[in-house]
Structure 1
Amino acid sequence: MTPTETQERPDTGKSWLRDHSELGVCVLLLALGALVLTDALTMNVDLTQRGPVGPKTVPIVVGAGLLVVAVLLAVDVLRGGRGEAEGGEDIDLSEPADWRTVLLLTGVFLATAVLIEPLGFPIAGALLFWGAAYALGSRHLQRDPLIAAGLSLLTYVVFNNLLGVPLPGGPLMGAL
């Protein structure tokens, strides 16, 4: 046996696990697929459905798809397949993560979750759109709030009035 063959052969279980770390994704997909299938199959539905496709169909297809992908990925990994590292086409992989942006976006999402009930979707949505734009680098302080308000009102009208999905209107919608 040559010295290079000895170096390539894994000596411990730890290096085998490191070489097959994609199996963790397989386990996650398997667990998620099992959860989705269990939830779909135990779902209580009205038996008077119209048409061949009921409310269980999509969750069952998604759950089964997750299980199939988990098994196929596990087979590929065990046969020696490896995931390709990020190519970094539009990012510089040598730069560290931008935690300021991540924390700003997290704060904006949490603030929206807290404020949507007392302020309503139009105001909370405008804060969400404007805050996300600011966190991602836009610094047009006159234009961005106007666009955010327009997007928020448009989203509210489409969901609440056209699609029939009730969103909290807040104090502004009560006055109109």
Structure 2
Amino acid sequence: MLSAPRRSPLSTTLARPVDAATGLKFPDALSASPAAAKNTAPVLLVKGDATALSVDEKALLTARGVTSATVFGGEDTVSAPLAADIKSVTTALTRIDGDDRFIVSANVTAANWTAPVDTVYFATGENYPDALAGGVLAGITKSPVLLVCSTRRWRTCRSAADPGRPVG
């Protein structure tokens, strides 16, 4: 993952596309990282509640000739003005979002892998260490990480994922 300005001097191999996720909340970046590895696109961690890219972030994207970006998460994680600013620099922007982190994770998988998928890694979406460690392996094997709920919260997660389906 890349973050400007701290890591920008080292990021000389940035690809033409870039994936952007907030560095303020963990779930979307954890789902995005294996997809980015599969697509050979770096992940730029942004300040999701900002209204614009920082000067260093803009300079990084411009210097590397980034022409398209995928933003992971809804407007509550990467603000609409920030996404618009990313688009103004890259010219093409796609957003992968959902009602919650579990749906975003599923949507990331659906957007980047075609069924059948040989290997899928599952990690709790309630805390980050499992997905952080598993994300490395998922990236190496070009496999998705799906964030899931613990059994104690299954009712909440299941109803969020499929609001029209009875929970029981």
Which range, TM-score by smaller chain?
A: under 0.3
* Structure (1/2) with the larger helix percentage: 1
* Structure (1/2) with the larger strand percentage: 2
